[in-house]
Amino acid sequence: MFDAAIIGCGITGAALAFELSRYKLKILILEKENDVSQGASKANSGIIHAGYDPMPGTKMAALNVEGARLAEELCQNLDVEYKKCGSLVLAFSAEEEKTLELLYNQGVENGVPELEIIRGEAIRKLEPNVSGKATAALYAPGAAVVIPWDYVLALAETAVQNGAELRLNAEVSAVEKTGGFYKIKCGNKKDEIEEIESRFVLNAAGVNSAEIHNMIAPPNFKITPNRGEYYLLDKAQAKIASRVIFQCPNEKGKGVLVSTTAHGNIIIGPDSSDVSDGENTATSLRGLAYVAETARKSVPSLDFRANIRNFSGVRANPDSGDFIIQEAEGAPGFIDLAGIKSPGLSAAPAIAKLAVSMLEQSGLALIKKENFIYTRRKIRFANLSEKDKQTLVRENPNYGRIICRCETVTEGEILDALRSPIIPRSIDAVKRRCGAGLGRCQGGFCSPRVTELISKELCINPLELEQDRSGSYIFTSETKGGGKDA
């Protein structure tokens, strides 16, 4: 019997697991995919928003500002790349300048520090490539960017280090209340369905959160999947923007941005279109053309020939317009964390703290662990000084072999990833942990070596190795006469 079972391991589930792992509890995380952070938390803008966007008085407003405050220390302790770069919202007309005033006032009411409206050339002084047609901008120096999947990994890995149990490939298909606890059916294959028992349940299933809620309580909210598409430009374009550059928000959300990433690339997007399938992360000619055209209004000199990847993420848009954080009707101890759309990445640590306090009110005893681990360190060879690189290579020659030349990722770092608390079992899972394949060639050169390393270290037949999600096999058969056992 578990004390708390968390359904879904995006940023919400991971932050919950981390927060709960401070206490003497038996915690289980159930994730339907073969790695954590495979939903919206993998594919978003990576911004820790300052918090002027949500309407004052909403859950989104309070939790965004608090989550952003908590993120800085969390990222520092858990070794997540966090760049406090600041953000600008541009206005191109008198009408839009009124929107900036509104955002400024909302920000002040929400408790966002250091907001300022700047005008004319002061904008170009901060961001020289911003269009001369931008007349004013709301400047929020506190906004930051992170690598979103690494934020999830850091929280989930630390929760695991602190004793939480993570089950991957564990899709929840039924939840039932029996006496004083919940029975949860999970598993991806019909003949491998398990039944798990837990006293408390946290529904952090993103686009599927309404489906999970409806397994245990009368439906009281709807989620509409809404897709946003992106370009990612090569690091050679890094100088084009050193902050997050938004346009004024519209009825569809925060609109198209041009931004630096925590990794030093330039990200451009997203658009917004409702999709029927919450897992539909395709990109489209129409969506990308809209993104490119809209982004050029902010930064006319954008060079899309430097694009190294297109991708999309799917928002879990709630019909309430606000985060749905509630104990499900007639299901004491079953907490929904649903409709966690933007600014969910920013708000996650605060959402987790709120959910834990709801669990406590619902009867979960919280006794702090004395030996809670609140630290995580990764070797990033490329960031070391020459002297430290030499010392490291002398100590362990694996760090002297560069596997990913675009991002300077060594064999040592790939092996570290393969021995990390949540073992990566696909090429992209390794990429998310150490950056091999994230660069200009997108794994064109290093993926054969990464394949060999995964295969050798984890004893996986390369024919069974996946690129990313379950079923994304990369090899069909061996060539040059090598049989399965060759």
Ligand X SMILES: Cc1cc2nc3c(=O)[nH]c(=O)nc-3n(C[C@H](O)[C@H](O)[C@H](O)COP(=O)(O)OP(=O)(O)OC[C@H]3O[C@@H](n4cnc5c(N)ncnc54)[C@H](O)[C@@H]3O)c2cc1C
Q: Which residues are catalytic?
A: 49
Give the residue, chosen from 142, 225, 270, 437, that forms a contact with ligand X under the rule CB under 6 A.
270
> CA–CA separation, 474 vs 376, rounded Å?
32
Q: Does 339 bind ligand X (CB under 6 A)?
A: no
Helix H or strand E segment including 123? helix 121-126
Contact 195, 183 (CB under 8 A): yes
Give residues 181-210 in contact with ligand X (rule: CB under 6 A): 204-206, 208
Pattern 157-176, binding to ligand X, x per CB under 6 A? --------------xx----
Counting residues that bind ligand X (by CB under 6 A) gives 39
Q: Does 39 bind ligand X (CB under 6 A)?
A: yes
Give the residue, chosen from 34, 46, 424, 446, that forms a contact with ligand X under the rule CB under 6 A.
46
Q: Does 33 bind ligand X (CB under 6 A)?
A: yes
Q: Which residue is nearest to ligand X (CB)?
A: 344
The least distance separating ligand X from the CB of residue 279, rounded to whole angstroms, comes to 8
Contact 333, 201 (CB under 8 A): yes
* Interface region with ligand X, contact rule CB under 6 A, candidates 232-240, 260-268, 280-288, 313-321: 313-321
The least distance separating ligand X from the CB of residue 478, rounded to whole angstroms, comes to 32
> CA–CA separation, 271 vs 142, rounded Å?
24
The least distance separating ligand X from the CB of residue 47, rounded to whole angstroms, comes to 3
Q: Does 255 bind ligand X (CB under 6 A)?
A: no
Backbone angles phi, psi at 276, to 5 degrees: -80, -30
Residue with tokens 């079972």: 5
How many C-beta atoms lie closer than 10 Å to residue 484's C-beta? 8
Q: Which is nearer to ligand X, 146 or 406 (CB)?
A: 146
Give the residue, chosen from 241, 340, 354, 454, that forms a contact with ligand X under the rule CB under 6 A.
340
Give the residue, chosen from 187, 313, 318, 333, that forms a contact with ligand X under the rule CB under 6 A.
313
Q: Which is nearer to ligand X, 343 or 439 (CB)?
A: 343
Q: Does 44 bind ligand X (CB under 6 A)?
A: yes
Burial grade of 370 (CB within 10 A; 0-12, 13-18, 19 or more) = exposed
Q: Does 418 bind ligand X (CB under 6 A)?
A: no
The angle, 0 to 180 degrees and rounded to 10, between the axes of the packed helices 148-161 and 427-434 is: 90
Q: Which is nearer to ligand X, 274 or 395 (CB)?
A: 274
> CA–CA separation, 383 vs 400, rounded Å?
14
Q: Does 225 bind ligand X (CB under 6 A)?
A: no
Q: What tokens were used for 355?
A: 């959910």
CA atoms within 13 A on the CB side of 375: 2
Contact 318, 222 (CB under 8 A): yes
Residue with tokens 């041009």: 258
How many C-beta atoms lie closer than 10 Å to residue 90's C-beta? 26
Q: Which is nearer to ligand X, 123 or 202 (CB)?
A: 202
The least distance separating ligand X from the CB of residue 475, rounded to whole angstroms, comes to 25
Q: Of the candidates 140, 138, 132, 92, which has an alpha carbon nearest to the alpha carbon of residue 299?
A: 132
Q: Does 288 bind ligand X (CB under 6 A)?
A: no
Give the residue, chosen from 6, 47, 137, 429, that forms a contact with ligand X under the rule CB under 6 A.
47
Give the residue, chosen from 7, 350, 355, 436, that forms a contact with ligand X under the rule CB under 6 A.
7
